[in-house]
Structure 1
Amino acid sequence: MVLRSPVEPLLAQARDMVPAPGALPGELRFQPKFNGYRALVFTLWSAPGPLVQSRRGSLMQSRFPELVDAAADLPDGLVLDGELVVWVEGRMSLEALQRRVVSGGRAAAGLAQEMPAHFIAFDLLQVDGQELLQVPYGERRAQLERLFTDRELSARWTLCPETTDVATAREWLTSWRQVPGVEGLVPMPCS
């Protein structure tokens, strides 16, 4: 099955503490929860081009032309799940991102230059036109990491940090609480 927009992504809940080992069944992975806009990026070169979809199904690629341009680095038939963020003066700015989301036309192009958006990818939902929703998360994550390595993705594309080490997760939670735009951690099963 090939995924087509709109796709409704699963929602994650940030935690403000790291569960104790054994508190939840199975081994866990931890990722930071960013305060941005949840989005999916579709690379459908047979269609009008790459699509950027909000979590509610709205298409937003006209508001983020720099991501559409950067999608040329991605293979056809891909669906990435992640978070749109905008950095202003070295900090994530939800206000700037909200301004970007409501812009269009020339304003969108100007804002793309002034305050470019970045996509923090944390899941791979489709590759080579093959839907991966039934594939265990660990396998999807490995494919996502290979995509970043093989394509040498940078600039607009960021691979979301992840750890299975509880001590590292606790350190992240402590040190990142001071970082505007990071809301907490998202624990998830390794499989």
Structure 2
Amino acid sequence: MELPVMPPVKPMLAKAVKGVPHEDGWSFEPKWDGFRCLLFRDGDEVELTSRNTKPLTRYFPEVVVAAREQLPERCVLDGELFVAIGDRLEFEVLQERIHPAASRISRLAAETPAGYVAFDLLALGDDSLVDRPFSERRAAMEQVLAGLPGPCHLTRTTTDPAEAEQWFEQFEGAGLDGVIAKPLDAPYRENLRSMLKIKHERTADVVLAGYREHKTSTPEKPLLGSMLLGLYDGGKLQHVGVSASFTEKRRAELWQELQALVCPIEEHPWGEWTEFLVANPGRVPGTQSRWSQGKDLSFTPLRPERVLEVKYDAMEGRRFRHTAHFKRWRPDRDPESCGYEQLEQPVSYDLARILGIEGGGSR
């Protein structure tokens, strides 16, 4: 492989902001919920690399085939790998592809094939485009990638902030993660937060069900690492996620504060799960999966008597998609009143319309 931009390349990054900017000079696009991926093609040679430059090629053979069939013969693209089931992106299904067994990868490539959506162009033919403004890189992408039927796609964009705000509200129903804003006059700069990301932010009242100790905790100086959170469903307390961002001082205070709630696992709502050796679909705490081999996932059970308010961005199935952020205690709430019905449900939206296929169109 011999391209004007060669791996390893660390992708350009984004910093979080509260809302869509309304001043001139921005291009907006959907924020895809998948694996960030740099794609390098030189004839029949195709390489896929992750955000941290690790190879992804062997895990997505169907994307390699599609790149040879649909993309320019010599190009470097920045984009996202995704798996769609029906009208939604499914990140959990995508995660299953990172597996050491070639037979499993081949089976999943056929059963739940991945797609690739391109949102930046770093090189085309013999020309590097990284020093050109995004407006020129986007124009070049539209020339060479327009009309792709999939599994390779060109992301849609707009320069209208009102339309970007509409996307922010609508596209979550298809599993997307928010909106990205790119400065039209900016070059491509590796590993710099030159873009903006606008993500959904919500709150929920959840039940504190246990904790794990911090990796630096010692018997002389015990520290809380993460809180295990639950929500009631049909009278049963379900594991919904964790909250983990605390200062060292606060970790010590919380560990002391919660000792009065410690209870035997046999008396805990999650005691029935201790017999399992592998993770189940509910991702109960204290169980193992291939993502957690070698990690200590034991937890200290607490009587489910305290309620806290947390901030979260999105759900993945019946769990918080990312670590939730502690906001405050809610002594006024009854734990049994904290259920899934309080969670905001995004309006459904057809992923095909976002990708500009099946009657849609690229912008």
Q: Is the structural similarity TM-score above 0.5?
A: yes
Q: Does 1:64 align with 2:40?
A: no
2:128 aligned partner, one-letter code: E
Q: Does 1:125 align with 2:122?
A: yes
Higher RCO, 1 vs 2 (CA within 8 Å, ≥6 residues apart): 1
1:103-122 counterparts in 2 under 5 A?
103-122=100-119
CA displacement at 1:3 relative to structure 2: 1.3
1:86 aligned partner, one-letter code: V
The CA distance in 2 between the partners of 1:102 and 1:49, in whole Å, is: 22
1:36-47 counterparts in 2 under 5 A?
36-45=34-43
The CA distance in 2 between the partners of 1:70 and 1:44, in whole Å, is: 14
Q: Does 1:140 align with 2:137?
A: yes
Q: Which has the larger radius of gyration?
A: 2
CA contact (8 A) 1:40 1:81 kept: yes
The CA distance in 1 between the partners of 2:101 and 2:153, in whole Å, is: 24
The CA distance in 1 between the partners of 2:64 and 2:172, in whole Å, is: 32
1:87-98 counterparts in 2 under 5 A?
87-98=84-95
Q: TM-score, normalised by structure 2?
A: 0.48
The CA distance in 2 between the partners of 1:31 and 1:70, in whole Å, is: 23
CA displacement at 1:63 relative to structure 2: 0.8
Structure 1: unaligned runs, 5 residues or longer: none
1:19-34 counterparts in 2 under 5 A?
19=21, 21-22=22-23, 26-34=24-32
**Aligned in 2, Cα 1:93/1:41: closer, same or farther, shift over 3 Å?**
same
**Aligned in 2, Cα 1:55/1:30: closer, same or farther, shift over 3 Å?**
same
Q: Which residue of structure 2 lines up, in the alignment, with residue 186 of structure 1? A: 180
**Aligned in 2, Cα 1:102/1:13: closer, same or farther, shift over 3 Å?**
farther
The CA distance in 2 between the partners of 1:145 and 1:165, in whole Å, is: 18
CA displacement at 1:85 relative to structure 2: 0.5
CA displacement at 1:15 relative to structure 2: 4.8
CA displacement at 1:106 relative to structure 2: 1.9
Structure 2: unaligned runs, 5 residues or longer: 186-363
CA displacement at 1:27 relative to structure 2: 1.7
The alignment partner of 2:181 has SS state of: strand
Q: TM-score, normalised by structure 1?
A: 0.88
**Aligned in 2, Cα 1:17/1:10: closer, same or farther, shift over 3 Å?**
same
1:147-184 superposed Cα distances (whole Å, 9 cap, x missing partner): 113xx42211111111001111111111123332x111
The CA distance in 2 between the partners of 1:154 and 1:111, in whole Å, is: 21
Q: Which residue of structure 1 lines up, in the alignment, with residue 5 of structure 2? A: 3
**Aligned in 2, Cα 1:159/1:13: closer, same or farther, shift over 3 Å?**
farther
CA contact (8 A) 1:34 1:83 kept: yes
CA contact (8 A) 2:63 2:114 kept: yes
CA displacement at 1:60 relative to structure 2: 1.2
The CA distance in 2 between the partners of 1:176 and 1:10, in whole Å, is: 23
The alignment partner of 2:97 has SS state of: helix
Q: Which residue of structure 2 lines up, in the alignment, with residue 53 of structure 1? A: 49
**Aligned in 2, Cα 1:103/1:31: closer, same or farther, shift over 3 Å?**
farther
CA contact (8 A) 2:88 2:173 kept: no
**Aligned in 2, Cα 1:135/1:155: closer, same or farther, shift over 3 Å?**
same
The CA distance in 1 between the partners of 2:84 and 2:18, in whole Å, is: 23
The CA distance in 2 between the partners of 1:16 and 1:100, in whole Å, is: 33
Q: Does 1:167 align with 2:162?
A: yes
Percentage of pairs with the same residue: 35
CA contact (8 A) 1:76 1:129 kept: no
1:48-92 superposed Cα distances (whole Å, 9 cap, x missing partner): 721111111111111111111111222232001001110123311
